[in-house]
């Protein structure tokens, strides 16, 4: 399987504060990586580095610059400004913006693709609504369509299970399983249990990054990875932290 993104000895942070130290990570085609870790451990910082919105202090990311792979990104829903008066269909099409020349218009095919995705996510009836009128789960679906409309090589989701009902959560992971046939997926979650049965491998981020080449991980391993279980699960600690991948 081909490597599509590599982080080599990356150190990153803000001003003089180092948040991630000496991080190594390789993403291959068809990877489905779950990123877990305690609050403030650096999960979002890792995503910013991968997305190129935060410069590294040290280390390198391959491929460099313009050769960087195409990445689709679903931000945390609470970071989205839904007061901005924009319609659902235009939000989804805006996922193609960086692929269009400046002032490039969306073509017929782009609009058809947006329609297909909205149908797939069950939100076609919302296409002319302003995003401010949507529920958290509906907004999540809209931004997922936006993230995948350009058919990226890697899809990154930051806490996609927040603000969604359990029905959509199951549906979401069903959609992700399908997408994983032709794109790598990185999903950040606080909740080990939720992502457990869907990811193929796991990275624990708590200042450093420990890669676990399996979706089954136990409490002991989490401790050695500097990822204390009590900090990353809500409520009861499950006996078996992660289930088998089906
Ligand atoms: N823009 C910023 N400027 C300065 N410090 C920041 C900035 N963003 C994050 N930090 C700090 O970096 C550390 C890691 O934050 P980050 O958001 O990456 O963690 P996280 O693992 O995603 O946390 P959470 O699970 O709470 O979302 C925290 O101590 C945070 O306060």
Whether this model's ipTM surpasses 0.95 comes out as: yes
Q: Is-contact 145 163, C-beta < 8 A?
A: no
Q: Among 19, 190, 232, which is best to mutate for testing ligand 1, by the most ligand atoms less than 8 A from CB?
A: 19
The residue with tokens 């088998």 is 244
Report the pLDDT averaged over residues 65-69. 72
Helices and strands, counts by H and E, the chain: 8, 9
45 pocket-lining for ligand 1 (C-beta < 6 Å): yes
* Alpha helix (H) residue ranges in 8-149: 43-51, 88-93, 108-120, 136-148
Cis peptide before 153 (omega within 30 of 0): no
Q: Give the model's confidence band at 239: pLDDT under 50 very low, under 70 low, under 90 confident, else very high.
A: very low
Angle at 219 between CA 215 and CA 224, to 5 degrees: 95
pLDDT of residue 236: 44
Residue nearest to atom 17 of ligand 1 (CA): 44
Q: Give the model's confidence band at 245: pLDDT under 50 very low, under 70 low, under 90 confident, else very high.
A: very low
* pLDDT for residue 84 is more than 50: yes
Provide the whole-model pTM: 0.88
* pLDDT for residue 166 is more than 90: no
Dist. CA 102 → ligand 1 center (Å): 33
Helix (H) or strand (E) segment spanning residue 192: helix 192-196
Q: Is-contact 216 30, C-beta < 8 A?
A: no
Dist. CA 8 → ligand 1 center (Å): 21
pLDDT tens digits for 42-56?
999 999 999 999 999
Helix (H) or strand (E) segment spanning residue 168: helix 166-179
């Amino acid at each position: 399987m081909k490597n599509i993104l590599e982080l080599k000895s990356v150190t990153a942070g803000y001003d003089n504060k180092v948040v991630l130290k000496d991080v190594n990570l390789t993403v291959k085609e068809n990877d489905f990586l779950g990123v877990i870790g305690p609050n403030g451990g650096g999960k979002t910082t890792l995503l910013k580095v991968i997305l190129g919105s935060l410069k590294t202090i040290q280390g390198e990311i391959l491929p460099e610059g313009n050769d960087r792979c195409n990445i689709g990104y679903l931000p945390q829903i609470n970071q989205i400004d839904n007061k901005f008066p924009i319609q659902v269909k235009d939000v989804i099409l805006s996922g193609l913006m960086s692929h269009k020349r400046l002032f490039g218009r969306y073509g017929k095919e782009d609009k058809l693709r947006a329609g297909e995705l909205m149908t797939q996510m069950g939100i076609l009836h919302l296409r002319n609504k302003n995003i401010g009128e949507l529920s958290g789960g509906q907004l999540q679906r809209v931004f997922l369509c936006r993230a995948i409309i350009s058919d990226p090589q890697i899809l990154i989701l930051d806490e996609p299970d927040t603000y969604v009902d359990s029905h959509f959560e199951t549906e979401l992971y069903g959609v992700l399983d399908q997408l994983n046939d032709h794109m790598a997926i990185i999903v950040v979650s606080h909740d080990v249990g939720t992502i457990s049965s869907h990811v193929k491998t796991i990275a624990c981020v708590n200042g450093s990054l420990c890669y676990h080449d399996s979706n089954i991980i136990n409490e002991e391993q989490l401790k050695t990875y500097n990822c204390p279980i009590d900090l990353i699960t809500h409520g009861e600690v499950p006996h078996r932290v992660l289930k088998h991948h089906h």
